């Protein structure tokens, strides 16, 4: 009994905060779901954490985008968040630009401790430069500092994101450290909360599943037929060999089997590969069904939510109100410490 109430007391005093966000650059896919949303859900249900989630629409402006559709896309991702099970009563869920005054402001202050060279050498920046050579802007260079501001404005210490975000988290830690050293702030150094799906491969056989790579992804709102036809295109081999491939199309398919049908099913196919052979038609059909079984309730919830736009508006406003209270405090503190307040 005593132990129990003590734990409760500790939990009430040490509030670890969680922050995670996704860009509204298209509908969410399995990579976003497994690499990020699953971790967000796990932490939302963990009594040791206060959870804050955001749709990072300002981040979307750092690469070419359509300003006519951005607002609707951000709202779409907000509804996706609720559809996968994020709960606006339990968590504070925002659209980033509702706090643009505070977040962009903090991002600018944070930029005072980071060198241009450090930002230019980031692998994620170099990749984006290759992808969009005509759009190498200051906003793009600043992307990781905007992300650091998203996290540090709530003094969050845990960040449920995919493994591709690790270089950005390293920047967030560095910024926190440097701000604390230079100005005496008390930012925690945030670490990544990893899920089993921290790296979801592309359907094309190489690289990660991504919104920006055509044909690489299965979207959360794909129906069974779409999933079947997308999986049909995934590259395979003869289905038999001495050694199960560890990379490429077959390895990726087996990774999907593990994620949606479990480790035993994957082992079963591995044994088949080195004995009688895998029939990929069967594997893909079964896998498509397993994926759809997980997506169906999410899609049904989305249909329900879309019937009630007033509720969505209310929840967006609620998230902004809850988050603003924390964010304002941090920005005031930082301004004072920097001699600006």
Partners of residue 55 on adjacent β-strands: 22, 95
22 binding ligand ADP? (CB under 6 A): yes
Distance set, CA 52 to CA 19, 99, 150 (Å): 5, 13, 10
Q: Rounded to 5 degrees, what angle do the CA atoms 93, 155, 39 make?
A: 50
55 binding ligand ADP? (CB under 6 A): no
Q: State the Cα–Cα distance between residues 21 and 56, nearest whole angstrom.
A: 6
Among residues 27, 132, 178, 208, the one that binds ligand ADP under rule CB under 6 A: 208
Name the minimum Å distance from CB 293 to ligand ADP.
20
238 binding ligand ADP? (CB under 6 A): no
User: What is the number of the residue whose Cβ is closest to ligand ADP?
Assistant: 35
23 binding ligand ADP? (CB under 6 A): yes
- Of 8, 94, 74, 85, the C-alpha closest to 43 is 85
- Beta carbon nearer to ligand ADP, 94 or 185: 94
- Beta-carbon neighbour count of residue 341 at 10 Å? 10
Among residues 35, 205, 249, 319, the one that binds ligand ADP under rule CB under 6 A: 35
17 binding ligand ADP? (CB under 6 A): no
- Beta carbon nearer to ligand ADP, 88 or 197: 197
Binding mask 178-207 for ligand ADP (x = CB under 6 A): -------------------xxxx-------
172 binding ligand ADP? (CB under 6 A): no
Sign of the torsion formed by the C-alpha atoms of 249, 163, 300 and 213: negative
- Beta carbon nearer to ligand ADP, 23 or 75: 23
Question: Judged by CB under 6 A, which stretch of 27-35, 92-100, 231-239, 319-327 contacts ligand ADP?
Answer: 27-35
Sign of the torsion formed by the C-alpha atoms of 181, 182, 186 and 188: negative
Among residues 62, 73, 97, 165, the one that binds ligand ADP under rule CB under 6 A: 165
Specify the 3-state DSSP secondary structure of 122. Answer: coil
Name the minimum Å distance from CB 180 to ligand ADP.
25
Residue carrying structure tokens 């659209």: 95
Q: State the Cα–Cα distance between residues 19 and 158, nearest whole angstrom.
A: 7
Residue 15 CA, distance from chain mean position: 22
Question: Judged by CB under 6 A, which stretch of 31-39, 78-86, 100-108, 312-320 contacts ligand ADP?
Answer: 31-39
25 binding ligand ADP? (CB under 6 A): yes
Question: Judged by CB under 6 A, which stretch of 32-40, 102-110, 282-290, 301-309 contacts ligand ADP?
Answer: 32-40
- Beta carbon nearer to ligand ADP, 234 or 278: 234
For residue 7, give both structure tokens: 């734990």
The edge-to-edge listing of strands for the beta sheet with 191-192 is 92-95, 49-55, 16-22, 158-159, 191-192
Under rule CB under 6 A, which residues in 91-150 are in contact with ligand ADP? none
Task: Write down the H helix ranges in the chain.
Answer: 2-13, 30-32, 38-44, 57-60, 70-84, 100-110, 116-120, 123-131, 138-152, 166-183, 224-232, 249-261, 263-273, 280-306, 309-337
- Beta carbon nearer to ligand ADP, 32 or 96: 32
Please report, as ranges, the residues that interact with ligand ADP according to CB under 6 A: 22-23, 25, 31-32, 35-36, 161-162, 164-165, 197-200, 208-212
């Amino acid at each position: 009994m005593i132990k129990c109430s003590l734990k409760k007391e500790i939990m009430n005093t040490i509030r670890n905060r969680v922050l995670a966000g996704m860009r509204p650059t298209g509908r969410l896919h399995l990579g976003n779901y497994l690499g990020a949303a699953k971790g967000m859900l796990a932490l939302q249900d963990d009594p040791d954490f206060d959870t804050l989630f955001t749709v990072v629409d300002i981040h979307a402006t750092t690469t070419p985008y359509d300003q006519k559709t951005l607002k609707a896309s951000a709202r779409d991702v907000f509804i996706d968040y609720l559809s996968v099970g994020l709960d606006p009563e339990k968590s504070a869920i925002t659209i980033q630009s509702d706090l643009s005054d505070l977040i962009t402001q903090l991002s600018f202050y944070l930029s005072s401790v980071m060198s241009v060279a450090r930002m230019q050498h980031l692998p994620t920046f170099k990749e984006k430069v290759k992808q969009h050579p005509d759009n190498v802007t200051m906003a793009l260079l600043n992307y990781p500092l905007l992300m650091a501001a998203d996290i540090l404005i709530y003094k969050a210490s845990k960040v449920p994101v995919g493994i591709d975000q690790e270089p950005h988290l390293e920047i967030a830690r560095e910024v926190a450290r440097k701000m604390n050293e230079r100005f005496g702030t008390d930012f925690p150094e945030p670490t990544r909360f990893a899920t089993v799906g921290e790296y979801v491969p592309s359907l094309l056989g190489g690289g990660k599943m991504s919104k920006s790579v055509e044909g690489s992804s299965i979207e959360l709102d794909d129906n069974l037929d779409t999933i079947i036809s997308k999986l049909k295109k995934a590259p395979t081999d003869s289905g038999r060999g001495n050694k199960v491939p560890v990379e490429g199309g077959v390895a990726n398919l087996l990774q999907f089997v593990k994620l949606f049908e479990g480790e035993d099913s994957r082992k079963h196919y591995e044994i088949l590969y080195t004995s009688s052979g895998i029939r990929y038609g069967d594997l893909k059909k079964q896998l498509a069904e397993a994926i759809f079984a997980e997506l169906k309730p999410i899609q049904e919830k989305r249909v329900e939510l879309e019937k009630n736009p007033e509720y969505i508006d209310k929840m967006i406003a609620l998230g902004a109100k809850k988050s603003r209270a924390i964010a304002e405090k941090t920005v005031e503190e930082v301004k004072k410490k920097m001699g600006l307040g």
